[in-house]
Amino acid sequence: MRRFLDKTVVIKYGGSAMSTAESRAFAVDAVLLKYIGLRPVIVHGGGPQIGATLERLGKQSTFVDGLRVTDDETMEVVEMVLGGKVNREIVSLVQAGGGRAVGLTGSDGNMLRVTQRLEPDRDLGRVGRVVRVDPAPIVAVASAGFVPVIAPIGVDERGVTHNVNADEAAGAIAAALVAEKLILLTDVEGVKDAEGSLIPVLSAEEARKHIALGAIRGGMIPKVECCIGALEAGVASAHIIDGRIEHALLLEIFTDRGVGTLITR
């Protein structure tokens, strides 16, 4: 465990991986990582919670290639749910597990600088693409002994907030921090081959080949590409793991069998 002392681990958590029991176990794992000497940084999603809130308000959710079309009204809900409800819930769970956490959004301190994501013939609204990360707010919080919990809300040069894909935000933050590990918790086993079998270990080059051949497809493609980008930026390893498994974080980091796919340079 000494080799992990003072190493940063960026963990993307949320969305489909979240449930009450799993959230408590995840929070305990994050606290334990902190006690061991790592520096966990949590980046969370919250798509299902945003969708449920919009439904209660009578507003339909629209998606393009997995990205939520975000008009001004939807952005208000995104900021309320991600920056308020979900962020506070995760902070509270970490603190209930014996840790200390501070909630942030990517717009705090202009941490996540974005430009509007433009797609041909498709208007996504206020959906952002990360162009720069200022790690200073994260480093300040972590250096003070707290676990940073970050909502993926970015801000452009005009100060306008944008909805950012949580995987993309986590990868960009891991790259900016030159983290030891980027870990994406999902609701699937990990990366699978064309026959549907789990791939325990995958190099970035092999991952690209699997994508080109169509073995890796659908929603797994942006997750794998996010991991490859982080590795190219200096992150030591990236993991896509099954967040439904209790204590998945600890099993992946500290055991030989792991609970998902390890992607290496």
- Which amino acids are annotated catalytic? 12, 15, 47, 167, 223
Extract the runs of DSSP E, i.e. beta strands, from the chain.
Answer: 8-13, 39-44, 63-64, 67-68, 101-105, 112-116, 128-133, 147-151, 153-155, 161-163, 181-186, 201-203, 237-242, 260-264
Q: What is the DSSP letter of 69?
A: P
Whether residue 44 contacts residue 12, with contact meaning beta carbons closer than 8 Å, is answered with yes
